[in-house]
Structures are given as structure tokens and as C-alpha cells.
Structure 1
Amino acid sequence: MREPVYFVRDVDFLRQIAIKYFDHFEDRSLFVEAKSDTLLGNSLLLLTGKKWHDMRSTLSPSFTSSKMRQMFELVVECADDMAKYFIEESKQNKPIRWEMKGLFTRYTIDIIASCAFGLKVDSLRNPNNEFFTIGRGIVGSRGKIMNALRLLLIRAFPDLMRALNVELFRSDIKQFFKSMVLDTMEEREVKNIERPDMINIMMQVRSGKLKHDHDESNDNDTGFATVEESNIGKHQVNRTYTDDEIIAQCFVFFLAGFDTISTSLSFLSYELALNQDIQQKLYEEIREVNESLNGGRLTYDTLPKMKYFDQVISEALRKWPPALVTERKCTKDFEFELDGRKILIERGREVRFPIYSIHHDPEIYENPEQFDPERFSDENKHKIKPGSYIPFGIGPRSCVGSRFALMEIKALLFYLLLNFNIQPYEKTEIPLKIVNSSINWNIGNVIHLEFKPRA
């Protein structure tokens, strides 16, 4: 609050900063450092300089289409299980009504437990499992308040907080992830267990055996609107990662999946409930694809065939982007010309990209408050100005797990919409009243919808 921050309003200039001149803006602003918090500070999200380059290059092979294809079977299993749970509930002739954030958080916990740690927790039938409890301790209302207080103290008195051994997250949370990751790795090494999940990838990272796949480029085999990214170059990473660094990557995978994906699913289900014509068109596409599977489960290679599904999800991420704003830190003085004047952005200054504002700019998107998947149709998507659709960020520091997030969303909605119509009922807020007490979406206990079995 004591230093100026640059807000970038022009999307052409935004692309230059995020991509063309990335070498001047390659870091994020650190709200916590590794020495202040080993979990978040060591994660890809907050690493800087060469450490970030090394970790990004190391983790990139984890999210290529071949790796996603292997993990997709685990994702589909969780999605199918949730749909089956609802089908069982519907047979009792009771209305299936849920608060969306709570419901989808249970799904994302199941995904993370399976795809990251190789565990099956079934959070609908076992809502008080340890994963769910830990997650609520981090992003629940009480957890957020305590984390905000710790962050304030760490920022204001870093040396004192380190002397008192105060970190951003509670010691039991840190110990939970440390035991979960290291104990699982040890057991798999002893028993020679291999499973297509994040723990297996981290074991390869630690041993230096994780190789770049042939498809490491930013291909778009899921069919979704792309997240712009430049090629930051492939370089050999010749270093050994510590246990803290390995645990930190698993933690941020948990954190992003627990909160961000459940929020996006909540908004998307809300829009489908309010736009029944869109939901019906999407259902017809899903039904047609399901018939082509001849009783089999949804496959990764089937995803690109559902083009209207891609449009619907892309539009939901435009209207309700996972992050409202993202930022970069100037790492060396950057001078540019604007209206005949030379402007200098000094080293150390923060530059912010207002994602929500760009996505809702009427000069870029006509009727931005309207939910309109046709914006992303083959006939119209060329009209979207480069740099104006950035739900997962832009450039080399865009979200490395965006492809995984998208397939989570698609897998669950495929099975839910195949069996149920999502509808508003008397408890549904129209329009939504979003709580404005946070720098990101705060929708706990806000979106209530009903799942009505299809005839």
C-alpha cells in the first residue's frame, strides 16, 4: 500500500509485457518467501528467477497431453462416482438440492486425493475425511481469517516471525502434507508401485528421471480456447530438489484444485441453471457422444469432439474468471514510448493485469454480462482480440495446470448433465450477490441449485 502499482488497460501492451518482454517481467510479487513459509514460498507459484525457470521446466512434462491422458481415467472415475451417488439419492424420491461450492469442493478433494496422492476418500459418503478437513482449515472462512492475520504479521515483522517460528500455514497442515508426500513416496519405492498421479511424477522429479514428452508444446488437444503462452525455451535442469520443494509443489496442486476448480464449477452450473436453452443444447451433444461410447466411460480422446461443451466452459471462464487479477514484477528497468512520451517502469515495481475488467469490457465483448457461448464458436472466435481472454493468465507464467483443471470440469459435467437437469429453486439467488470482502471470489453458501433426474 506504500508503492505505486501499474495497471495495464491496453491488451496489446499487456501481451508485450507478458510475452514479448517477459525477460523484464518474469517474476511475481512475493507476498511470502520460502524462508517465511516453506509450503507456499517454495511452490512454482512464488518462485523467482532461475529457481522458477528450473521448476517450470521440470514440471512442464507433468501436464502434457500424454500425462493428462493417463490421469484422465482417475478423474472420470471420481466424476462417475458422484453421478452414481446422485442417482442413488434420486431413487429415494427426495429433491437433490445442494449448495454448489460445498458440493464441488467434495469432488475436487476426491480428484486431488486420487490424482495427487493415490487415495480414494469419497467425500460425499465420508464428508469428514482428513483431506476435506485440512482443506477447510486452509480456505474455509476461519482458515482465511487466520491466514490473513499471519500473512500481515509475516509481512510486517518477517525477522520476528521467523525467530518465533511462525509460518503462514499451521504446523499441523505442514506436517500433514510432509507425511503424506514423503511416506507415500517411501512406500512406493519399497513396494515398487507405479501409478499415474502427481506423487509418481514428483518421485521422477526427485530422481531426475522425468523426461520431456514429444508433445510438450502448448498443443490444444482438449479443444478449449487456448491460454496464450510463449516458448520460454527448454533447458536442461541439473539439480536435486529438496523434500521441502517437492512437498511445496504437491501443496499448491492441492490448494489450486481445492478452491479454484470448485468455484468455476459453481459459476458454470449456475449459468446452466439460468439458461435452460443452453443446457439443453449441451445435453444433446453429451447424449450423442455418450451413445457413441457404446456403454464405455468417457475418454480423453473424446474431449475435442464436444465443441459446444468447449464453448460453454470458455464462456463461463470469461464471465467468471478463476482469478480476478494477476501481476508481474519488473525485474529490470523497462522503458517504452506512449503517445510520444518515454515512460519508465522501474525495477521492483508491480504491474497488474485486471483479468475480470478485461473480460467484462464492452469494447471487447459485446453485452459482457450476457452468458453467450456463441462468442467461442468457430464462426466467432476469431473476433476475440489476442490478450483479451486470459482466464488462466498469459505468457510463460500462466497456470501450468490449466489443462488438468479443464478436464476436471468437463468430466464431471458430462456425467451430471447426462443424468440430471440443473435447475434453480426457491433458495436460488437471482441475480447473485457476491461477497466483496476478498481479493478473489468469495461464494461460500451462495449458489443453491437442484438436480432433477432426466426422464
Structure 2
Amino acid sequence: MFWFLLAGVLVLLIYYAFINPFKYWGRKRAPQDKIWKIWLETVSLIMQYRPYHETLKRVYNNFPGMRYAGVYHIFSPMLLIRDPELIKQITVKDFEHFTDHFNSLPINNQPLWEKNLFFLKGDKWREMRSTLSPSFTSSKMKILFGLINDCAKQFVKYYEEQNENVIQLEMKDTFTRFTNDVIATSAFGVTCDSIRNPDNEFYLNGKIALNFGEGIKGMLKFLMATLSPKLANKLGLKFTKEEAGMFFTNIIKSNIKSREQNGIIRPDMIHLLLEARKGRLKDEELEAIPKEKLTDEDIAAQAFLFFLAGFDSVATLMHFVAYELAVHPDIQVKLQQEIDGILNNSNGSLTYEKLSSMKYMDMVLSETLRKWPSAFFLDRICVKPYTILPVREGEKPVYLEKGDTIQIPLFGIHYDPEYYPEPERFDPERFSDENKTKINPYAYLPFGSGPRICIGSRFALMETKMVFSYLLATFDIVVTEKTPIPLKISRTKFRLDNDEGFWMGLQLRKENQ
């Protein structure tokens, strides 16, 4: 009798631990896969059988023709949104029901994370967004233009001076050093020159700050954070080493103190944030005034977020641009022709207006962001009860409760042939003046959507366009024997990376030899 009861208890435990959680969306009458299929995908994700973005594409493709479907990120239920009109509804029209991000990172007692714009929620997010928005307008980007221009020229000049026929480079590391210098000077008021000074403190601490762990160790941290953020916080699990966090905090605070004591004004992000703190910046559209004054910790947190996005995400965009140009030399030549025309008419130097006028450059960057968005998916948390009403035959109302999570799968949508024919093909012509009007704006979301859209997108595009303008005016980006063709994305990293690296060559253009 005892063994019978024990067996019964074990069966119940297995059911409630491993089966019942995967019935969540079925109970809400949303379509979802069979539980055994969900388990297969979960095991595949945990064991890293395939790259993460490929798993997400597979899940998206499991529900053809559906506007939404219930999916599970490990054990966390998420409603997958596949329909552009529904994406618009959730991220724009009914944004008040979905204002916050899903947070699976253990960030308690880490001000650099807790206080930055991405992780803030509700009214605190609104106040910070309205405070920061004026710092990222076109007019304010012009203030930062000169700093980035100097970094880009210095970067290209270094390789010009090498006097080698083909300079073979691992482009992830190369562009990360460039973005490090850009962020250091524009957000922290620090000059680094990471190409000539490869072991500078700023660069090394940036690498430490972004080292969340890879392989099994990284997956265990990821699982702990996903399954129980509260437990992860109690156990003291952190995604940024304390010494790296202190490094960035101390730089910002000492910089602020020095400027305020000595009346120093420098055209960079700290200056803009200090102006915002004084109430001297107003949102160009809303003229919103924050209720609370920015503290030094608030400013440090925003500068740190700016660093995280600029250091890694922008460098990722850059090395994918370089890769696509190297393997598509015809596209590279066409882009160089546009760059040559601009530079020849402006004495070899760029202005903000000239940079903004590069249409083919915009097309190349837009197509790169379609194929290789920096985020795997967008997420939103339901903060007020919401009903997705049936529109198509067979649909039933789906009642979302406070705390339910929405997932918008970028790789699924960006690779859906319904929106992008031959999605694996790199084709900047998709974004020509003639063709881009055919693209549903809610099927192209590299920077997000609605009020939560990436606030730094203008800055990211400006520095990318600038470095490639000077680089391609001087060099051809070429394939070498170490270039990975076809490109294979790593299975063990939680970002778009290649285990062997992104190796390419810089070859002086014939007219420059």
C-alpha cells in the first residue's frame, strides 16, 4: 500500500511539475503545440542542439497562418504574436496594457541595471523616457557627430598605415574596439584608442561586463534566471561582475563631479544628461518635464545602458555588414560608388546632412538588420487585463491576465517569405524607395516598436554609416581563407556569433595604392 501511495504521489508531482505548466495556453484557448513537442523544443534549447535563433524560427514556423500561439520559454509561458496588425495593436494602439518588459535577469541591488531605461517599469519608465528623449533627437546627434567622426577617421587611418596588401582581421573584435572608443568618448568623456592600446581599462571592463557566460555554465545561469529570478536574486547571482560595475559607476561620478566643480562643458552624452537634470532639455514633441531630478546613479545607469548597446549590439551590426559586403562584392562596389560621390563633393569629410543623404547605405544597413537583428525577440508584459478578440475563423477570445508575457519573434517575422520573398538572400533592393513601401512596418522591427522602441537607434545608425563611409572609401572588404562560408552561427552562445570568428580582409582600393 505504501509503495502504491508513493507511486501515486510521484505521478502527481511529475504531472504538476512537468506537464501542467505546459497546459497554460490551452486553458486560455490559445493554439499551442502538443506537450511532447514542447518538451522536445525545450530539451533542444537546454542542450543547445542548434543556434538559439534557429530554435525560435522553428517555433514560429510551427504555426503557419495563425495570428498568435501559446509557446513556452523553458517553463515560462509566452504568447507568440505572428500577425503585424496584432503587433501594432499591442505595441502601439493598446500600449497602456503592455508597457513593461519581461525581466528574467537577477538585477536586485545592482543600480546600473535596476535604474536603466530598459528595465524600468510603469511611471518610472515614463519619467525617464521623457527625460532622455530630448538627448537623442536629430539635433542632439549633431552634437555627438564630431566625436564619432574623429574616432572613425582615426580607426581607418591606423589600418592605412599598416602598408600590407591584405590586412586579415577578426571583425567582431575589430569593430568592438571601435564601438568601445565611440561610447567611451561620447558617453563617458574618456579617450581610449583601443586599436593602438588594446588592453585599455575601459575595453577590458567592457568585456567583463558583457561576459554572461557561455556553454553549460551560461545555460545554467540562464535557466536559474528564467525559472526563478527571485531565487537567483536571493542566491546573489549576478550578470555583471561587481568590479566592472564599480569601474563604470566611478568613472561617471568622478566625471560629473569634475564638470560641476570646474564648469567643464564637453559635447557628449554626460553633458546632455546633466542638461536634462537641470531641466534645460525638453522633448521636441511632448515637452515633458520629469517629476524627479536625475541622480548621479540614474545618469550612471543610462550611460551604462548606452555602453552595453553600443559596445556589443552596434559592433554586431557592423561585423554583419562587413560580412555581407565581403561575400557580395557587387553590392559593395555599388555602395562605394555612393560613398565616393558624397566624399568627392565634400573634400573628403562628412557632415551630418551628407551622411543622412546616403540612400544605398540606408538600404544596406536595413537589409542587414532584417537578416541579423540584434535582439532575438521583443517582449512585453501585460500590466492590465486584456482580451484578444477573434478575427479569423476558428479563433476564440484569449483573455490575458496581469503578468502574462508577449513574445514578438523577430527572426520568425524577418524570415517569413510572406513578408520577404527568398528571406535567406541578402537583397538591399527590398528597401529601395520603390520597394520599401511594400514592407509592412510591423513586419520589420530591428529596433522594436511603439513607445518602447530603441531610443538610441539614430546614434547606432550614425556611427555605423560613418565608419563604413571612411572604411570603404579607402579599402575593399574581402574574403580570405579564414572567412566562414557559409556562415554558421554558434550553438553555445546567447548572441549571434561564430565559433571560429568573423575573419575578413581589408585590401587597399586600387586607386589608393
Task: Report deviation, 1:322.
Answer: 1.3
2:93 corresponds to 1:38: no
TM-score (norm 1): 0.90
Q: 1:365 to 1:453 in 2, by over 3 A?
A: same
TM-score (norm 2): 0.80
Contact kept? 1:102, 1:444, Cα under 8 Å: no
**One-letter code of the match for 1:11?**
P
Q: Distance in 1 between matches of 2:235 and 2:178?
A: 37
2:506 corresponds to 1:440: no
2:275 corresponds to 1:275: no
Give 1:40-439 correspondences, 5 Å limit. 40-89=113-162, 91=163, 93-140=164-211, 142=213, 167-206=238-277, 208-212=278-282, 216-217=284-285, 235-295=288-348, 297-338=349-390, 339=392, 341-439=396-494
**One-letter code of the match for 2:436?**
K
Task: Report deviation, 1:356.
Answer: 1.3
Secondary structure of residue in 1 paired with 2:443:
coil
Q: Distance in 2 between matches of 1:78 and 1:145?
A: 38
Q: 1:388 to 1:142 in 2, by over 3 A?
A: closer
- Of residues 334-343 and 299-308 in structure 1, the stretch that sits farther from structure 2 once superposed is 334-343
Deviations 1:14-36 (A, max 9, x none): 11100000000010112246534
- 2:508 counterpart residue number: 453
Q: 1:158 to 1:406 in 2, by over 3 A?
A: closer
Deviations 1:341-378 (A, max 9, x none): 32211211000000111111001101111111111111
Q: 1:375 to 1:61 in 2, by over 3 A?
A: same
Secondary structure of residue in 1 paired with 2:178:
helix
Q: Distance in 2 between matches of 1:356 and 1:415?
A: 31
**One-letter code of the match for 1:411?**
M
Q: Distance in 2 between matches of 1:155 and 1:414?
A: 41
Q: Distance in 2 between matches of 1:360 and 1:157?
A: 32
Contact kept? 1:336, 1:342, Cα under 8 Å: yes
Task: Report deviation, 1:164.
Answer: 7.2
- Of residues 152-161 and 18-27 in structure 1, the stretch that sits farther from structure 2 once superposed is 152-161
Contact kept? 2:212, 2:239, Cα under 8 Å: no
Task: Report deviation, 1:435.
Answer: 0.6
- 1:223 counterpart residue number: none
- 2:25 counterpart residue number: none
Q: Distance in 2 between matches of 1:159 and 1:327?
A: 19
Q: Distance in 1 between matches of 2:214 and 2:149?
A: 30
Deviations 1:154-201 (A, max 9, x none): 677777776776643222112101110000111111221111111112
Contact kept? 1:115, 1:197, Cα under 8 Å: yes
Contact kept? 1:26, 1:49, Cα under 8 Å: yes
Unaligned runs of 5+ in 1: 218-232
Q: Distance in 1 between matches of 2:180 and 2:318?
A: 13
Task: Report deviation, 1:2.
Answer: 3.2
Secondary structure of residue in 1 paired with 2:119:
coil
Secondary structure of residue in 1 paired with 2:402:
coil
Q: Distance in 2 between matches of 1:19 and 1:180?
A: 37
Q: Distance in 2 between matches of 1:53 and 1:36?
A: 21
**Higher RCO by CA contacts (8 Å cutoff, separation 6 or greater):** 1
Contact kept? 2:363, 2:431, Cα under 8 Å: yes
Q: How many residues get paired?
A: 434
Q: Distance in 2 between matches of 1:314 and 1:160?
A: 40
**One-letter code of the match for 2:261?**
V
**One-letter code of the match for 2:351?**
T
Q: 1:147 to 1:71 in 2, by over 3 A?
A: farther
Unaligned runs of 5+ in 2: 1-73
State the identity as a percent: 42
Contact kept? 2:475, 2:508, Cα under 8 Å: yes
